[in-house]
Structure 1
Amino acid sequence: MQEIKCIIADDEPLARKLITSYVEQTPFLKLKGVFKNSWEVKDFLYSNPVDLILLDIEMPGLDGLTFFKTLNNPPKVIFITAHRDYAVDAFEVNASDYLMKPVAFERFLKALNHVHQIKNTASEQVMALATNDHLFISIDRQMQKVFFDEIEFLESMGDYVKFYIGLSKPLITKARLKDFVEKLPSNSFLQIHRSFIINKNKINAYTQDKVKIGDKWLRISRSFKDQLDF
């Protein structure tokens, strides 16, 4: 069963308590944090990527909808609110669902089962054969062979991953970056950021906080800096 790492953000104590109890009753959910406002979430996500945010919209300071729009490569989101007025705006940012308070457990579980099904489907698309020198990825409804030594780096684009291979146009597959972490040989590939996995053999130059591959400089995040060995 694919685990979904999630966090809760709501300024109302009773709402936080209720949704926390729902998460704890759902076997495939792993609660990573509970927060009172968007700023706390922003600080947490900087070094703690998750799969899903259960996010209230009307919070003091920075509201949940505005906050979510500021995220680069955001996780999935289910908005939870007492107001129907935001439904259109929520789905314009590709929200997985929109739950009205007070949320019934059956409605919560229906929304989460949908997210879980999508995650499992994406993972199955990535479960291609990986050998000593290559793997297959799903591209345009066919499985395409990609040799490890041709890959320069991978870039996360939300629910998609770009494979950069030399001067060729990047290959784009529907998957999450973490789906490839264990499939790529650890002696050559290294995650340097929540958005990047690089081929160490393709590095042309580096500094304390970025590496250069080809003509592109890629940022090294603080959470991965201690793992670097080049």
Structure 2
Amino acid sequence: MALKCVAIDDEPLALELIKTYVTRFPGLQLVQVFEDALSGAEYLKQNPVDLLFVDVNMPDITGVELVRSLVNSPMIIFTTAYRNYAFESYELQAIDYLLKPIDFTRFTAAVEKAIDFHKYKNSIQESTNDESIYVYSEYKMIKILLRDIEYIESMGDYLKIYLSTSDKPTLTLMTMKKVLEKLPTDQFARIHRSYIVALNKIKSIHNRKVKLANSELPVGDAYADFINQQKGNI
């Protein structure tokens, strides 16, 4: 089934170019285009789509503001003539960020990322042991199996995800609040302003320290109840 797409850009020529490019992909279906950002935002609130091509610089609201206003955001590919919005695109976990004038080869790479990510999300239901989340790291979407996560550390605007299968943590631009929304509450718990731990990786808890296989993490004052909740589970 083709991905339903919407394109929003206040430049008619830019919209025409996107329309032309999209027609070359049988895996895409362009259902609507808008030169007005506010009209596009209203449409998206009422009509779920799979992929949004949206210009960053528009007169009413920016593409970044538009995406942030959506409750259920589709996959995003930002288009713009300016490079200085790349940080915002990473923060919003956009699939890609295309600079105008958009080259078809570069457009193809962005669309293929979106198609691959959509396939991951809609693959045949995996077993519990294969549950996963997706994060944006090193300019691509990465699939992380929940069973491999040992703990997550907050580093300002970034997170380090430590895995039992790798010596190097995965670095991603995401908040603690956002990653907690992705994680099942019966498998993960926040124990500190800077740490989330996988419950099945805990070896012991002593003196408000959580012992993992190769790490020891503190339990913050605000999370002291965590210790009582885990009595009998370790």
Asked if these proteins are the same fold (TM beyond 0.5), I'd say yes
1:102-121 Cα deviation digits (max 9, x unpaired) = 00111101110011011112
1:28 aligned partner: 27
Give the Å deviation of 1:73: 2.1
Give the Å deviation of 1:46: 2.2
Larger radius of gyration: 2
1:179-210 Cα deviation digits (max 9, x unpaired) = xxxxxxxxxxxxxxxxxxxxxxxxxxxxxxxx
2:4 aligned partner: 5
2:77 aligned partner: 78
Name the amino acid aligned to 1:114: K
Cα gap change, 1:19/1:127 in structure 2, threshold over 3 Å: closer, same or farther?
Answer: same
Q: Secondary structure at the match of 2:60?
A: coil
Counterpart CA distance in 2 for 1:122 and 1:68 is 20
TM-score under structure 2 normalisation?
0.55
Name the amino acid aligned to 1:105: F
Counterpart CA distance in 2 for 1:142 and 1:65 is 30
Q: Matched residue pairs, number?
A: 144
1:48 aligned partner: 47
- The alignment-based identity, stated in percent, is 34
Q: Does 2:138 align with 1:139?
A: no
Q: Which has the higher contact order (CA 8 A, sep 6+)?
A: 1
1:65-110 Cα deviation digits (max 9, x unpaired) = 1111111121110000001111111111111100000001111011
Q: How do 1:208-223 residues align onto structure 2 when only pairs under 5 Å count?
A: none
Q: Does 2:104 align with 1:105?
A: yes
RMSD (Å), alpha carbons: 2.7
Name the amino acid aligned to 2:6: I
Counterpart CA distance in 1 for 2:80 and 2:41 is 19
Counterpart CA distance in 2 for 1:67 and 1:46 is 11
Name the amino acid aligned to 1:120: K
Q: Which runs of 4+ in 1 moved over 4 A?
A: 140-143, 160-163, 169-172
Residues 7 and 15 of structure 2 are in contact (CA less than 8 Å); yes or no, is this contact kept in structure 1? yes
Residues 37 and 62 of structure 1 are in contact (CA less than 8 Å); yes or no, is this contact kept in structure 2? no
Q: How do 1:49-198 residues align onto structure 2 when only pairs under 5 Å count?
A: 49-124=48-123, 126-127=124-125, 138-139=130-131, 141=145
Cα gap change, 1:45/1:170 in structure 2, threshold over 3 Å: closer, same or farther?
Answer: farther
Q: Secondary structure at the match of 1:67?
A: helix
Residues 139 and 171 of structure 1 are in contact (CA less than 8 Å); yes or no, is this contact kept in structure 2? no
- Unpaired runs of 5+ in structure 2? 133-144, 148-177, 189-234
Counterpart CA distance in 1 for 2:31 and 2:120 is 23
Cα gap change, 1:64/1:171 in structure 2, threshold over 3 Å: closer, same or farther?
Answer: same
Give the Å deviation of 1:63: 1.1
1:15 aligned partner: 14
- Unpaired runs of 5+ in structure 1? 129-135, 144-156, 164-168, 173-230
